Amino acid sequence: MTDFDLVWKNLFRRPLRTGLLIVSIFIAFLIFGLLVSVNVALERSSNSGTASNRLVVANKINFTQPMPIAYVNQVATIKGVTAVTHFSWFGAYYQDQTKSRFVGFAVDPATYTAIYSDQIKLGPGQREAFIKTRDGVIVGKALAEKYGWRLGQVIPISSNIYIKPDGGRALDMRVVGIFSGAKPDDPTTALYFNYEYLNESRTFGRDQIGTIGVVTASPDLNDAVAKAIDARFANSPYETATVDEKTFQRAFLKQAGDLNFIITMVVAAAFAAILMIVGTTLVSAVRERTKEIGVMKTLGFPGPRVLRMVLGESILLSGLGGGLGLGVAALMLKGLSKSAMGASFGDLSMDLSVALVGIVLALLLGLVTGLIPALSALRMNIIDALGRR
């Protein structure tokens, strides 16, 4: 019989207790795998498709507040600005608001597709069709595949913000383009349509926009241009706040709160609880086997070997629970990628770095929880062990 056989049998001598411990560790690593992967996806999403010489202008109060469309032409006259466009959040969904929400913006077709050509790759003639078709819409490849949309099809896209004069929320849009990203893993789960089509159809907020996209002549001019833009509209009813594109995307994704901090606290709390539970249980388990350890030492098992066996139990226990948790988390993330939540992130999957960190944490958890009982077994005196009741 090998040492591993002894470790396995000792670990499962009380199946119910071991099973409950594995479930506890499983839950901790399931939480870790899901939350950290979502956080990584958020970070990846905020960094994808950003350019160093692009700025975003939004209302100073909050980017959800509107600005007059007349601001676009005024921004274009500021020194250092080479191109400008605008885009407005639509609150888009298809048929069922609870199940099919996705990113949708009303844009100026010509300027938007020119400035963000690194994010929107259209087929031959599709950009021209988008510019010329008032009710045209371009949709991401992943979104088109999800709903079975095809070129030329007319689809009703509804808004949870805007209402038409007849009380309806859906705008009929003609699919004139299906775009892909610059890289294969770039999210393509959004759609863009003509701002003028929205502007003539809504009952409030006419001639107002959400945000302005700005291209500067050089990244070195970003700060000067941003200050000039905000100074231009200072003390007006619609003051502005201008930031670089990456900063704006991060702020947009964190509108629900500081997700990084929340995720860190939840994961830390879960691991602290599991550490105490598993550590206390293993100490009790070793105390139950005091006489057995004494017999093993009497038979010639050296102290270091006993220490390795006790540590092996805790590492095996942590490895089983952690491995199951990470595995199930990876499967759940694949399922979430196909849901409305996954549409916000594109490919929502467990990154290799998250899996590696999880494996390291499982090993560390096993070492930390098994260290005290292992040292106790190492120092245990044969006479005291055999005499303990």
pLDDT per residue as tens digits for the range 347-381: 567 888 888 988 998 888 888 877 777 676 666 66
192 has pLDDT over 80: yes
Q: Name the domain boundary from 237, 270, 288.
A: 237
Residue 134: inside a domain: yes
**Is residue 374 assigned to a domain?**
yes
Read off the tokens for 191: 């759609």
Q: In what order do the strands lie in the sheet with 92-93?
A: 92-93, 154-159, 170-179, 136-140, 190-194, 103-107, 81-89, 211-216, 54-59, 240-244
What would the pLDDT profile of 305-355 be if each residue is shown by its tens digit?
777 777 888 888 888 988 999 999 988 888 776 554 444 455 567 888 888
Percent of the chain with pLDDT strictly greater than 90: 42
Q: Are residues 83 and 215 in the same domain?
A: yes
| Domain termination site, one of 174, 207, 237 | 237
Give the residue, 378 or 247, on which the prediction is more confident: 247
The Cα–Cα gap between 192 and 136 comes to 9
| Closest C-alpha among 303, 291, 320, 314 to residue 377 | 303
> What total number of domains does the chain contain?
2
Same domain, 133 and 233: yes
Task: Please tell me whether residues 158 and 35 are part of one structural domain.
Answer: no
235 conformational bin, left if phi > 0, alpha if psi -120 to 50, beta if neither: left
CB 192 within 8 A of CB 137: yes
Domain housing 295? 3-45+258-387
Domain edge (last residue) among 237, 268, 289? 237
Global pTM? 0.66
Could you tell me if 123 and 73 lie in one domain? yes
pLDDT at residue 170 greater than cutoff 90: yes
Say if residue 380 is in the same domain as residue 284.
Answer: yes
At 286 the pLDDT is 65
The DSSP element (H or E) to which 250 belongs, if any, is helix 245-253
Let me know whether 296 and 332 are in one domain: yes
265 in the same domain as 199: no
Per-residue pLDDT band for 267 (boundaries 50, 70, 90) equals confident
Residue 56 lies in a domain: no
Full 3-state SS string of 15-38 = HHHHHHHHHHHHHHHHHHHHHHHH
Is residue 369 helix, strand or coil? Answer: helix
4 with 312: CB under 8 angstroms? yes
- CA atoms of 91 and 98, how far apart (whole Å): 12
